[in-house]
Amino acid sequence: MTTAVVLGIDIGTSGLRIAATDEANALKAMSVAPIAQPLQDGGRLRQDPELWWTALESAFAGLDLAGLAVRAIAVDGTSGTILAVEADGTPASLASMYNDVCERPHLALVAAHAPRETAALGSTSPLARALELAESERRILHQADWIMGRLSGRFGVTDENNALKSGYDPVARRWPDWIAKTGFDTALLPEVVPAGTRVGTITGGMAARFGLPPDAAIVAGTTDGCAAFLASGASEPGDGVTSLGTTLTLKLLSDSPVFAPGFGIYSHRIGDQWLAGGASNTGGAAIGKFFTKEDLARLTPLLEPDHPTGLDYYPLPKPGERFPVNDPAFPPRLEPRPADDRVFFQAMLEGIARIEAEAYAKLAELGATPLRSIRTAGGGAANPAWTKMRLRALGVPERASLSEHAAVGTARLAWRGIGHAN
């Protein structure tokens, strides 16, 4: 007896992962392959897209699908990675990576015409980089689009999440008129469909190459960040996911979008829901200025979450904050420092917990659905004492995450594409 599964393909910065999940989102198989690092050419970050395909082939070679019947496939890619292609999908350029800083003249063209709330602004603007690549009149695709095109034979279609930073208007659900004022021909941009939309069927050649059923559906995916959120299992408005890493990153599922460029906030559209996100400079980098990994291992068991320190800290690695305060000169607040390192460490964790709570409150103030539950990713998720401090500050229940693998989140979209809401 075979088990029906779908495949979520996650293209990360340094590796590609394929996850096979069943209709209950249970992981049935997984495979990972490395991707060579981007080329650096005069400060630009470029990569040969064939490296992605080589990684995909390697990952499929290591994927054990015995007893599994693949029904659909969806792909996520790094947000803002683009390339120029010929009509048949053949790359006409190296890919311009998500963190590739564009030349000033093209940035100026976008800045002169783009509305303030668009996600297409900034030094790494995909639209500005598309202006460079499209000088040859080739079609522009995003990373996930190209992989999806090779699997389906249908190039020239993207999802609403990958399109966002290229200037797509997710509220009006179209490429806006202002793009043409930059001199860019919007006919070179892909057709946009909602994430989780079936866009075709795997080609016979690809089915044979990877040992897949000839009727496997190809479904529009998303960005890596949105996929990571979906992987958590969050699905209801008010579900939040906090990543406790070098910095503090928050994503909140909302009934209404939030566009607040002053705080670096914009919203991805997932069906009729919105994923609003923000990032603070607080987090592991601030803690690391004062404590080594050995210090943390020694001090963590000594934390007393039921006995707050009463210290009002705002931990930052250096002056400057993005969210929930927008001030490039905002100073760290870490005084007075107690003599006991355990108290100092706990006060820093309490401070980060307060910042997290203030950040979710700011999202609600800006129009998002108020936080109703929290899931946690990143290294800090393994600290139960800190979790207790955070839940006290947030005032909402904790939910267990389904997975931390973005490929699992993309697989959820693959299920949606064949009519299974999960």
Residue 382 tokens, joined: 């393994």
Give the model confidence (pLDDT) of 226-285 as tens digits.
Answer: 999 999 999 999 999 999 999 999 999 999 999 998 898 999 999 899 999 999 999 999
Shortest CA distance to 224 belongs to which of 13, 1, 5, 4?
A: 13
**Homologous superfamily of 3-227+406-417 in CATH?**
ATPase, nucleotide binding domain (3.30.420.40)
Tally of CB atoms within 10 A around 236: 12
CA distances in angstroms from 350 to 31, 206, 272, 306, 378, listed in the order given: 38, 52, 35, 11, 17
CA distances in angstroms from 345 to 25, 159, 163, 315, 351, listed in the order given: 38, 43, 42, 10, 10
User: What's the CA gap between 381 and 336, in Å, rounded?
Assistant: 27
**Burial letters 316-326, b for 16+ CB under 10 A, else e:** bbeeebbbbbb
Give the model confidence (pLDDT) of 173-191 as tens digits.
Answer: 999 999 999 999 999 999 9
Give the model confidence (pLDDT) of 27-55 as tens digits.
Answer: 999 999 999 887 877 778 999 999 999 99
Partnered with residue 46 across adjacent β-strands are 39, 96
* Helices and strands counted in the chain (H then E): 12, 18
- pLDDT score, position 379: 85
Show me where the domains of the chain are located. Answer: 3-227+406-417, 237-394
Contact 128, 110 (CB under 8 A): yes
**More confident call, 417 vs 380:** 417
Contact 276, 229 (CB under 8 A): no
Topology alike, domains 3-227+406-417 and 237-394: yes
Measure the CA angle with vertex 50, ends 45 and 54; round to 5°.
120
Cβ-proximal residues to 371 (8 Å cutoff; 6+ apart), any chain = 238, 240, 252, 360, 361, 363, 364, 394, 396
- pLDDT score, position 49: 96
**Homologous superfamily of 237-394 in CATH?**
ATPase, nucleotide binding domain (3.30.420.40)
- pLDDT score, position 36: 86
